[in-house]
A and B are shown apart, each in its own frame.
Chain A
Amino acid sequence: MEKLDTLKLTSRMNARVRKNAIWKSIFFLSTLFGLIVLAVLIIRVLTQGAGWIDINFLTGRLSTDAERAGIMGALLGTVWVMLVVIPVTLIIGVGTAVYLELYAKRGKFQSFIETNISNLAGVPSIVYGLLGLTVFSRLMDLGNAVLAGGLTLSLLVLPILIVSAQEALRAVPGHLAEASYAMGATKWQTIRRVILPAALASILTGSILSLSRAIGETAPLTVLGIPAFLLPFPEGIFDTFTALPMQIYYWTLDSSLVAEYANLAAATIVVLLVLLFVLNSIAIFIRNKFQQRY
């Protein structure tokens, strides 16, 4: 064996260490890149839109006149849609999670449903739009009412909610259920009085996060034919509606015709992002405050 030339080795070692340091900064800059874009995006939207937000903008009706346009209708539309999405996804999502985690026998059927759910999570949102168009709008004749939009979005976010609720249920330690069974409680009593209450905080956190996904979703609504310009406010789940992301979409498209519309779109984005920020803060608050330590 040749003797190692220490001098050569040291100089090579130095080069290797230098190379490591250079790449470390490249990796760091890469990580920073996404965050810089995020910062640019937020600053851009704020500088462009924040000045347009005032009480008239928030409470006014739509108008072709950029100076007078308001987003109350879109805000109400979003709220109404959420009033459909929340109960529908919570009941179906938590119910499915409870079934899969606590009732279904480990086996082919259960793994079939779970595979199916993870596949559904990967289906593009626009395809859900077509499902909604065919089933809710046409077959059930709901047209472009709040209910059609709400149900479509519910199906879209359901896989996310189910998976997070499953994780929440799995995190409840088995010894709590044991204690309940040992008192002579039945399975449903144990689930309803012990397991669900213990998992509640995590389930709520997960459902708020999936709700914020639904709030920002646009593609399925475009397929349902949600109108670009709608003056009346929705007053129930059977009314036609528009929603914040739809308003952003139309104003962005038309900004090539009327330049101010871009500012309106930016202002609406600010409102949407604030809404999402508040929802996420609530989710984090619930997670930190109410999550049980076992």
Chain B
Amino acid sequence: MSMLMERKMTVENDKHVKKSSNSHRIVYDTKDLNLWYSNTHALKDINLAINEKEVTAIIGPSGCGKSTYIKTLNRMVELVPGVRTTGSITYKNKNILDKSFKVEDLRTQVGMVFQKANPFPKSIYENIAYGPKIHGIRNKKVLDEIVETSLRGAYIWDEVKDRLNENAYGLSGGQQQRLCIARCLAIQPDVILMDEPTSALDPKSTLKIEELAQELKKDYSIIIVTHNMQQAARISDKTAFFLNGEVIEFDDTNTIFTNPADNRTEDYISGRFG
């Protein structure tokens, strides 16, 4: 068995012993992160240590930098021209902001689910097989298996197993979003970033995605940006509150929502602004 999997098993066992955040290893360690879009200072001195195999929620009003931050974690933020960063984000002992770090490698290990479901205009099968294929997996049997496991992992297999060759655009919005999650799972990342994954969905589909996130955290570290505070309270272990590009507070979700240390957090949570 591979080293990778052994490590996962150990972490798995740890969790049963003691359900405290201390037992978790850190997956992303952000130190003094600053980010500018041209002249706009979008992230200011961010320091965050995000745990493995947990759901970490990032909340805050729009324009607070939460989306920018999550896109920095897989360097998708670089698609915007004129972005500059300082500071470091350590992932697996390496600084991912370092120019020598290959973004393709990073993004292979860190999956992402977007605000609006964005399946490719291809068949359901091809959507899932896309990731494995671009990473050189061509064997039809292996692909078949990956497709099934991934769809099962995203709890959408039963709904689509009879129409794998149909265009993904025929699915409902909620199904499309779960398909996008399945597409992430197909390359077995370590982390899944979710950027307001339910903001375009109805309550029923939202619930399904939330349940899915709960299930997935057994195997994956999940970081979710949301503007829905109930959602953060329902599904996350830890919550970070962002305001004007700064982390105001980062703690156990319970603490954030019941006994926040900062007035601004309390104001936001009680709906006084945002």
A residues near B (Cβ < 8 Å) are 106, 173, 175-176, 178-186, 189, 193-194, 197-198, 292-294
Does chain A have a CB within 8 A of B111? yes
CA distance A175 to B180 in the complex (A): 12
**What are 18 inter-chain pairs, A to B, with CB distance below 8 A?**
A175-B114, A176-B118, A176-B121, A178-B76, A178-B114, A179-B183, A180-B134, A181-B79, A182-B76, A182-B111, A182-B114, A183-B134, A184-B105, A184-B131, A185-B104, A185-B131, A193-B130, A193-B134
Query: Do A183 and B120 touch across chains, with their CB atoms under 8 A apart?
Result: no
**A192: nearest chain-B partner, CB-CB:** B134
CA distance A207 to B122 in the complex (A): 23
Please give the distance in Å from A247's CB to the nearest CB on chain B. 43
**B127: nearest chain-A partner, CB-CB:** A179
CA distance A184 to B112 in the complex (A): 10
> Interface code B181-218, partner A: CB below 8 Å = 1, 0 otherwise?
00110010000000000000000000000000000000
Majority DSSP secondary structure for residues of B touching A = helix
B residues near A (Cβ < 8 Å) are 74, 76, 79, 81, 104-109, 111-112, 114, 116, 118-122, 130-131, 133-135, 169, 180, 183-184, 187
CA distance A189 to B120 in the complex (A): 14
Please give the distance in Å from A181's CB to the nearest CB on chain B. 7
**B193: nearest chain-A partner, CB-CB:** A182
Residues of A within 8 A of B134 (CB): 180, 183-186, 189, 193
CA distance A294 to B109 in the complex (A): 28
CA distance A175 to B135 in the complex (A): 20
Please give the distance in Å from A80's CB to the nearest CB on chain B. 36
A176, A181, A197, A198 interface centre (most CB from chain B within 10 Å): A181
Query: Do A181 and B122 touch across chains, with their CB atoms under 8 A apart?
Result: no
Contacting B180 at CB < 8 Å: which of A106, A179, A194, A198?
A: A179
Query: Do B135 and A179 touch across chains, with their CB atoms under 8 A apart?
Result: no
Contacting B107 at CB < 8 Å: which of A175, A182, A193, A294?
A: A182
Contacting A179 at CB < 8 Å: which of B118, B133, B169?
A: B118
Q: How many A-B residue pairs have CB under 8 A?
A: 69
Contacting A181 at CB < 8 Å: which of B76, B183, B184, B187?
A: B76
B104, B121, B122 interface centre (most CB from chain A within 10 Å): B121
Query: Do A294 and B180 touch across chains, with their CB atoms under 8 A apart?
Result: no
Residues of A within 8 A of B180 (CB): 179
Query: Do B118 and A186 touch across chains, with their CB atoms under 8 A apart?
Result: no
Query: Do A182 and B74 touch across chains, with their CB atoms under 8 A apart?
Result: yes
Given contacts A178-B76, A183-B130, A184-B105, contact A294 B121 (CB under 8 A): yes
Contacting A197 at CB < 8 Å: which of B104, B121, B135?
A: B121
Residues of B within 8 A of A175 (CB): 114, 116, 118
Query: Do A184 and B120 touch across chains, with their CB atoms under 8 A apart?
Result: no
Query: Do B104 and A184 touch across chains, with their CB atoms under 8 A apart?
Result: yes
CA distance A183 to B180 in the complex (A): 11
Contacting B121 at CB < 8 Å: which of A181, A185, A198?
A: A198
Residues of B within 8 A of A197 (CB): 121-122
CA distance A180 to B131 in the complex (A): 8
Please give the distance in Å from B222's CB to the nearest CB on chain A. 15
Please give the distance in Å from A196's CB to the nearest CB on chain B. 12
Residues of A within 8 A of B106 (CB): 184
Query: Do A186 and B104 touch across chains, with their CB atoms under 8 A apart?
Result: yes
**A190: nearest chain-B partner, CB-CB:** B134
Given contacts A176-B120, A193-B134, A198-B121, contact A183 B108 (CB under 8 A): yes
Query: Do A183 and B111 touch across chains, with their CB atoms under 8 A apart?
Result: yes
CA distance A179 to B74 in the complex (A): 12
Query: Do B76 and A292 touch across chains, with their CB atoms under 8 A apart?
Result: no
Residues of B within 8 A of A189 (CB): 134
User: 4 closest pairs, A vs B, by CB?
Assistant: A184-B108, A184-B107, A182-B112, A175-B118
Please give the distance in Å from A226's CB to the nearest CB on chain B. 43
CA distance A183 to B183 in the complex (A): 8
CA distance A150 to B218 in the complex (A): 63
Please give the distance in Å from A175's CB to the nearest CB on chain B. 4
Please give the distance in Å from A104's CB to the nearest CB on chain B. 13
Please give the distance in Å from B57's CB to the nearest CB on chain A. 20
Please give the distance in Å from A84's CB to the nearest CB on chain B. 32
CA distance A182 to B120 in the complex (A): 13
